[in-house]
């Protein structure tokens, strides 16, 4: 069953009337004949009561509404944060003037792209594996956009960076630039399964990109898998040491991949000049104060070329942010603010943004909503979760949506 927004014929007659005054009619489409369901009741002219059968509607109403008015309705739906997909589902004619969205990516340090740091540039992406429908949620506007991509049916997003997605489907892995191109990668063998993954740079912008993945192996070892550009197969290495990776994706930091363990240790993977891989661990779990327990969730966020942020979420939803300073020996410092910064964290992508043109600062953004489905973020200044739309402290229980990934892009209609 599909529910679509259906506009009454009075739109064609009273085009100058405010759209907010119209009462929508919902068209419920089943496998048979369409039925019209009005959300109002109508009185008999004789005043004898209320009857349930609505007046017949013109089946050609979509044709009667002028194209200019249809476009105005489409723009109205977007500006009023209504469901854009519902408008597209009414008929082929309406779908033609409300085309699907495409994204344009702004990459840091790319002179050919426009930097994109306003409230329309940050989206929380979720993928419906059954039909390939991508839902983009903008927390600053409380607004959803949609993009259908058949190439993503049955896929899982493993990492996102520079406008590219690293996705897996069974043993297969490939890069996807939604709506544009796909780069197929060599299949992984069963033993190359990775808990978390990352890649160093966009496959079209770098001549030496690397994909990196890691998993705990037989409790006291880690299994590392990697693929360099030009390789025809994956390489796997086993290293000793009890290093259970956290849930967050690794960060490519100064030509090395940094990985957080569940207790706050930092593993580092890279290559010597001769191409030989190396792996070592900075033991930091005893340095954190307050200490990190195994039930905490950890995220790693890059700040600049020397500094990472470790974001720790306790089972009680307390949030602590630590600076990990890397010039020589790592310095771990609990901080109470990240002034002018917003930290966006999710399992498949985490990053920090400085100087965003929004009225929120010094905060951490998770894929979290309250029980009323309002988006919530964590304010370091107020030491509390807050509802973004009215900026009030959130008292109800938080729920975190998994399989979501933060991306930075500009969504454009065709």
CATH code, domain carrying 249: 2.130.10
Claim to verify: residue 302 and residue 173 sit in the same structural domain: yes
Tokens of 212: 């990196």
For residue 290, say if its preceding peptide bond is cis, omega within 30 degrees of 0: yes
pLDDT on residue 49: 41
Claim to verify: residue 139 and residue 204 sit in the same structural domain: yes
Tokens of 148: 């259908």
Claim to verify: residue 325 and residue 382 sit in the same structural domain: yes
Per-chain mean pLDDT for the chain: 76
Claim to verify: residue 63 and residue 184 sit in the same structural domain: no
Which CA distances in Å does 236 have to 207, 225, 239, 371? 22, 4, 10, 43
Model confidence pLDDT, tens digit, residues 288-309? 988 898 789 999 998 877 789 9
- State yes or no: pLDDT of 167 exceeds 80: yes
With residues binned 3-state (H G I as helix, E B as strand, rest as coil), the percentages for the chain, rounded to 5, are 10, 40, 50
Claim to verify: residue 216 and residue 352 sit in the same structural domain: yes
Least confident span in 54-58, 200-204, 345-349: 54-58
Claim to verify: residue 202 and residue 256 sit in the same structural domain: yes
Which CA distances in Å does 295 have to 32, 35, 246, 298, 367? 51, 51, 10, 10, 18
pLDDT on residue 65: 66
Claim to verify: residue 82 and residue 115 sit in the same structural domain: no
Model confidence pLDDT, tens digit, residues 92-113? 666 665 655 555 555 444 443 3
Claim to verify: residue 88 and residue 110 sit in the same structural domain: no
| Beta strand pairing call for 221-228 and 50-51 | unpaired
* Residue 93 lies in domain: 2-98
Instruction: Report the 10 Å Cβ neighbour count for 404.
Output: 20
Asked if 88 contacts 94 with a C-beta cutoff of 8 angstroms, the reply is: yes
Model confidence pLDDT, tens digit, residues 232-270? 999 999 998 889 999 899 999 989 999 999 999 999 999
Claim to verify: residue 76 and residue 163 sit in the same structural domain: no
Q: Of 45, 75, 98, which residue constitutes the final position of a domain?
A: 98
Per the structure, how many domains does the chain have? 2
């Amino acid at each position: 069953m599909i529910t679509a927004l259906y506009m009454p014929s009075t739109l064609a007659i009273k085009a100058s009337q405010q759209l907010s005054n119209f009462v929508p009619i919902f068209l419920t489409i089943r496998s048979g004949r369409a039925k019209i369901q009005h959300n109002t009741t109508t009185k008999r002219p004789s005043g004898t009561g209320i009857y349930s059968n609505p007046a017949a509607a013109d089946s050609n109403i979509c044709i009667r509404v002028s194209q200019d008015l249809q476009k105005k309705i489409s723009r109205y739906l977007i500006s009023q944060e209504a469901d854009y997909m519902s408008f597209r589902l009414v008929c082929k004619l309406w779908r033609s003037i409300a085309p699907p969205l495409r994204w344009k990516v702004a990459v840091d340090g790319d002179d050919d792209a426009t930097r994109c740091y306003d409230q329309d540039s940050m989206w929380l992406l979720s993928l419906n594996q059954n039909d390939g429908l991508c839902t983009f949620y903008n927390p600053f506007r409380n607004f959803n956009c949609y993009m259908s991509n058949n190439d993503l049916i049955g896929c899982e997003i493993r990492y996102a960076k520079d406008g590219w997605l690293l996705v897996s489907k069974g043993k297969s892995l490939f890069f996807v630039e939604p709506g544009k191109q796909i780069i197929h990668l060599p299949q992984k063998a069963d033993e190359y399964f990775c808990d978390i993954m990352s890649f160093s740079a966009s496959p079209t912008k770098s001549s030496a990109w690397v994909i990196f993945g890691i998993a705990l192996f037989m409790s006291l070892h880690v299994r590392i898998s990697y693929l360099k550009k030009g390789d025809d197969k994956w390489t796997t290495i086993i290293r000793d040491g009890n290093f259970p990776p956290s849930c967050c994706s690794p960060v490519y930091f100064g030509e090395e991949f940094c990985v957080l363990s569940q207790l706050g240790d930092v593993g580092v993977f890279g290559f010597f000049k001769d191409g030989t891989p190396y792996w070592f661990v900075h033991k930091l779990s005893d340095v954190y104060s307050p200490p990190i327990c195994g039930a905490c969730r950890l995220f790693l966020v890059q700040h600049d070329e020397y500094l990472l942020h470790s974001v720790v979420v306790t089972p009680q939803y307390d949030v602590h942010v630590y600076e990990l300073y890397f010039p020589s020996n790592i310095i771990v410092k609990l901080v109470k603010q990240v002034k002018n910064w917003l930290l966006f964290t999710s399992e498949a992508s985490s990053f920090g943004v400085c100087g965003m043109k929004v009225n929120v600062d010094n905060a951490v953004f998770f894929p979290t909503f309250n029980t009323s489905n309002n988006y919530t973020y964590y304010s370091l200044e107020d030491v509390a979760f807050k509802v973004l739309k009215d900026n009030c402290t959130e008292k109800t229980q938080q729920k975190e949506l998994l399989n979501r990934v933060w991306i930075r892009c500009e969504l454009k209609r065709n």
